[in-house]
Homo-oligomer: A and B are copies of this chain.
Amino acid sequence: MMHSDEQQDPSYILVAFGKHLAHIRKDHGWSQEKLALESGIARSYLSGVERGQRNIALLNIYRLATTLGIRPEELLKF
């Protein structure tokens, strides 16, 4: 087993990103459905991202950030 910071379990990263995104979304007072509708991203996909089950790509990270009115790098600060 590996425990160093340099060898993080990749699934941990996706879960941490998803929790961070959900936190920002709730801070905006938005439901998952509203963020999905406003961003044009399917709600089922968004739900998977927030649960850390999707390896979201750059263009969708950008789309979510733009929709939430924040800088894309803010979504990676977790």
Residues of A whose CB lies within 8 Å of any CB of B are: 6, 10, 13-14, 17, 55-59, 61-62, 66, 71-77
- Measured between beta carbons, the chain B residues less than 8 angstroms from A74 are 73
Residues of B close to A10: CB separation below 8 A: 59, 62
> CB-CB < 8 A to A57: which residues of B?
55-58
Assembled-state Cα–Cα distance A57/B17 (Å): 12
| Those 7 A-B pairs whose CB atoms lie nearest each other, nearest first | A73-B76, A73-B73, A57-B57, A55-B57, A72-B76, A10-B59, A73-B77
B6 engages A58 (CB within 8 Å) = no
Instruction: Evaluate whether A58 and B59 lie within 8 angstroms (CB atoms) in the complex, with A66-B6, A76-B76 already known.
Output: no
